[in-house]
Amino acid sequence: MSISQAEGADVGGPSLSRAVAEEEIRVAQRRRLLLVAQVAVGVVFLLAWQLAAGPLIDPFFFSSPYEIGAKLVDWIRRGELFDHLFYTMYAMLMGFVIGGLAGFVVGFLFGRYDALATIFDPYITAFYSLPKIALAPLFIMWFGIGIESKIAMAAIIVFFLVFLNTYSGVRDVSAVHLNAARIMGAKEWQLLRIVIAPSAAAWVLAGLKVSIPYALIGAVVGEFMSSNRGIGFKIAQASSTFDTAGAFAGLFVLAIVGILLSAIIKAAERRILRWRS
């Protein structure tokens, strides 16, 4: 080996590894700084709110972080919070699963078969155009005032979000890739597993990620309409008695739940789509 080759090997070995390690350290430091910035923004906002409650804003209408925290502690102490939260989460998750599965199946079928999409397109469009909250009274009539109507409300919202994304994802699959797989002898189920599913996965996961907060909204709206349990019921009850702290406490719980569920979906998305990076 010549001197120049030895120098090239040295540059391409330890130096490259050191550069990669330094880049990983910079990325980790940047993530920590962003996390600190996120926490700092929240802390500053809460402090400003607490200081403004009274001198600048009326606590009757906006409450204060201290009163909201005290209300949450009171709910936990009395054992109410987790009971109502479980009710809301169960309705939301059941609606999410039912609506997500139905949306995926229908979206896949419509994406694969043009005849189905053409026949049902005006009906899907008409139903999608309806304000979903207008269906809540009908769901109460059909499914009663129990948890079933909340599940139905969440499911119908999730269905359209997942359906539209799945349909777009299946339609977006490259015809070149499909034809190449067919030439190599791939069967229909192999096309689904090897070509269609990986290509449409990003679309489907995007629909699921977007639909998580909307499933929560659907369940809470159903609780607003008719319920004696759930976080939505607690918010409605607090609003009817002018308990601003209670209303904000319920909203705070829903916000935290939405953040946690979104983080779970993002983690699943990174794992499932790790081949993209």
The first and second tokens of residue 139, run together, are: 């769901």
The total domain count for the chain is: 2
Please state, in angstroms and rounded to a whole number, the distance separating the CA atoms of residues 101 and 109.
Answer: 12
In a domain, 24, yes or no: yes
Residues 134 and 177 in one domain: yes
The pLDDT, as a whole number, for residue 265 is 82
In a domain, 21, yes or no: yes
210: number of Cβ within 10 Å: 16
Please answer whether residues 226 and 238 qualify as being in contact, where contact means their C-beta atoms are separated by less than 8 angstroms. no
CATH number, domain of 186, equals 1.10.3720.10
User: Per the structure block, which two tokens stand in for 20?
Assistant: 């990669």
User: Are 148 and 232 within one domain?
Assistant: yes
For position 275, what pLDDT does the model report? Answer: 60
Cα(98)–Cα(269) distance, integer angstroms: 20
What pLDDT band is residue 179 in, cutting at 50, 70 and 90?
Answer: low
For residue 148, being part of any structural domain is answered with yes
State whether 233 and 202 are in the same domain: yes
Same domain, 47 and 154: no
Q: Give the model's pLDDT for residue 4.
A: 46
Question: Per the domain annotation, does 59 fall within a domain?
Answer: no
Residues 42, 108 within the same domain: no
Query: Which range (51-55, 92-96, 155-159, 196-200) has the least confidence?
Result: 196-200
Query: Are 126 and 6 within one domain?
Result: no
Q: Tell me, what's the pLDDT at 209?
A: 83
Residues found in the chain: 277
**Residue 197 structural domain:** 64-276
Overall average pLDDT of the 170-192 stretch: 69
State the pLDDT confidence band at 12, using cuts at 50, 70 and 90: low
- At 64 the three-state DSSP class reads coil
| Cα–Cα distances in angstroms (integers) from residue 206 to residues 10, 175, 256, 266, in the given order | 44, 22, 20, 9
104 shares a domain with 170? yes
Kindly report the average pLDDT of the chain as a whole number. 82
pLDDT class for 7, splitting at 50, 70, 90? very low
- 89 with 192, same domain: the answer is yes
Residues 21 and 126 both lie in one domain: no
Considering the chain, what percentage of its residues have pLDDT values greater than 90? 12
Q: pTM score, two decimals? A: 0.77
Do both 196 and 250 map to the same domain? yes
